[in-house]
Structure 1
């Protein structure tokens, strides 16, 4: 096994009601995905571990991931869910702080109104994360980048990482407004970015590496190897690709980089960001 870290993947026992976002167009992932399904893929692709990110928004989900991590030591960290808007947020974070596997939290902001990140209750939750040294994963659509920029500027000491390169519209090839947002948010030292979730923003059945290249160029030019980390977004990636193909696509793209820079992206940055 190599020492790579997959900084972004999910587990679930499929529940059609709770997991209603996995609709019939995503039949390939309408089933259970558990650690025993992921381990062989990690091994085949030189990964020694992963960071499990919540797929549904409940504390039960965070407990489910904690349980899996307690039984599988290749799960090196968890990005859980807690209601950041709750008035007892400090108490909840204090409770979770006794579990060393929890490294940070996120909220599915892409499913919220565009002004969600300006909400006072949400920002109160973000301000509480620092007390416990938790990270925050920013999950947004590209149109929400301006709100994310305001958020990261407001909390300069909070470590943030952008999931799925902020979901540009790779299908349409529209790049300009997303690129402008990336060029702006990268100015803030406290922001990293996950190279993840790209194939599912492209045409599922017909994407080619050349469709992703312009978007990869933008994040590599802006974030550089110091602020980027690889995430597979498994098993969601299965609707458009497979684990090895996603890894191979990035390997090919990065073949011109120094070994040192490649190592940062495959494991060092995730390790230091999440304190694995």
Structure 2
């Protein structure tokens, strides 16, 4: 087993919580098996400690205020929660402005995300009203998380970054590289194009669910190396994607595998990925 560096802290920048018994999560259907359940902070607390994670960032799992305010309630009572990526109706400008003003006053809200990968239009984020609303984020100290599962999604990352050079754009899950099929292009070129924008950072997360069921961390190496080579460790951060990650592993095993895939980097680079990038990007 690979000997791992012992950092002074580790921040999980992509963790979800949802309580289906209390509110709606439209995308979570019975076909998702174990995900069709309640996932509160108590279900992962022991594994967080076992993995050595010292802080977490909760990320929205529904395009609703109910989901955001549930996360904020958890943050207020859970010392390990350092930040929240909330939802706002980016296509309803005036309403979004009011929501963002409330969020900017919160000590926990660090960014905004919409479940754009579920929308019919893969270029929704480039709409005129959405574009105006995105201009409100940076002045309020908020980042924008973006989900990318299609090539068109990843293309919009560079476009948003160009339109809003003062906005920090966070690309979730390395844009889900085609690991299971051992594919490469156009993912690799689109990642390099996103990395050319200095205001884009990327999360090393969600790789196990993009892999074959019999995955090993070695399957991820060339994809992670490509991301680090293009972005630099100072623009990469680590996330568990729990509980989605349980579809192909457990918290501790997936977290360790992700650490293994960066273990050949220098200690300084590993610390960037394990906590320093997160602290800077989300102002934790």
**TM-score normalized with structure 2 length:** 0.92
| Residue equivalent to 1:222 | 230
The 1-side partners of 2:194 and 2:74 are apart by: 34
Contact 1:138 1:161 in 2 (8 A): yes
| Residue equivalent to 1:102 | 109
Q: 1:62 aligns with which of 59, 68, 85?
A: 68
The 2-side partners of 1:184 and 1:66 are apart by: 34
- Offset of residue 114 of structure 1: 2.0
Other structure's SS at 1:47 match: coil
The 2-side partners of 1:115 and 1:4 are apart by: 34
Other structure's SS at 1:107 match: coil
Size of the aligned set, in residue pairs, is 275
1:100-132 Cα shifts (integer Å, max 9, x gaps): 100110111211212212201111111111221
The 1-side partners of 2:133 and 2:48 are apart by: 34
- Offset of residue 225 of structure 1: 0.9
- Offset of residue 138 of structure 1: 1.0
The 2-side partners of 1:63 and 1:126 are apart by: 21
The 2-side partners of 1:191 and 1:16 are apart by: 35
Other structure's SS at 1:254 match: coil
- Offset of residue 87 of structure 1: 2.6
Compute the RMSD of aligned alpha carbons: 1.7
Note the residue ranges of structure 2 that are not aligned, 5 or more in a row. 1-6
The 1-side partners of 2:22 and 2:106 are apart by: 29
Q: 2:145 aligns with which of 125, 128, 137?
A: 137
| Residue equivalent to 1:206 | 214
Alignment of 1:1-276 (within 5 A): 3-15=9-21, 18-88=24-94, 89-112=96-119, 113-143=121-151, 144-203=153-212, 205-276=213-284
- Offset of residue 251 of structure 1: 2.2
The 2-side partners of 1:236 and 1:7 are apart by: 14
- Offset of residue 28 of structure 1: 1.7
**TM-score normalized with structure 1 length:** 0.94
Contact 2:25 2:62 in 1 (8 A): yes
Contact 2:97 2:136 in 1 (8 A): yes
Other structure's SS at 2:34 match: helix
Query: For the structure 1 residues 273 and 177, does the alpha-carbon distance in structure 2 shift closer, same or farther, using more than 3 Å as the test?
Result: same
Query: For the structure 1 residues 18 and 170, does the alpha-carbon distance in structure 2 shift closer, same or farther, using more than 3 Å as the test?
Result: farther
Other structure's SS at 2:273 match: helix
